[in-house]
Amino acid sequence: MRVVVKIGSSSLTDESGHLRLEVIDAVVGQLSAVRGLGHEVILVTSGAVASGVAGLGLASRPADVLSLQALSAVGQPRLMAAYGAAFASHAVVTAQVLLVPHDFVDRQQYLHARATLGRLLEYGCVPVINENDAIANN
């Protein structure tokens, strides 16, 4: 069975945008247990922008698109590092997959994304999917 789990920013970060590592560890522990039962796991996550706010020490989250895109670029590696470390403690390899809405509209892009996800699952990875907010324009 393939299990897809979505976790949002408000579950992953505190009010200042700092990653709640205990939550990430708990989610990863549960997903690793599911994998141990022989299931494929895909994790869809949010949290890059919030993590970028905390990473830069900003007092609040800006509203303009350019700032949000920049914050995503700061926060995404922090988010992936937290997931990578948590999954590594269970001997599970993660793979970052960043998508934009166009990847679902353009048939060729969709097929490429689907094929990549399939191959990652064949390799035994847990794909960690997020929107590529650094370039997305919606």
Question: In this structure, which topology does domain 2-131 adopt according to CATH?
Answer: Carbamate kinase (3.40.1160)
User: What burial class does residue 130 get, using C-beta atoms within 10 Å of its C-beta: 0-12 exposed, 13-18 middle, 19+ buried?
Assistant: buried
Residue ranges per structural domain of the chain: 2-131
Looking at the predicted structure, is the pLDDT value of residue 84 above 90? yes
Which tokens belong to 43? 């994790």
The per-residue pLDDT of the chain, averaged, comes to 95
Looking at the predicted structure, is the pLDDT value of residue 108 above 70? yes
Tell me the pLDDT tens digit for each residue of 21-78: 999 999 999 999 999 999 999 999 999 999 999 999 999 899 999 999 999 999 999 9
pTM: 0.93
The torsion angles phi and psi of 22, rounded to 5 degrees, stand at: -65, -35
Cα separation, 49 vs 64, in Å, equals 12
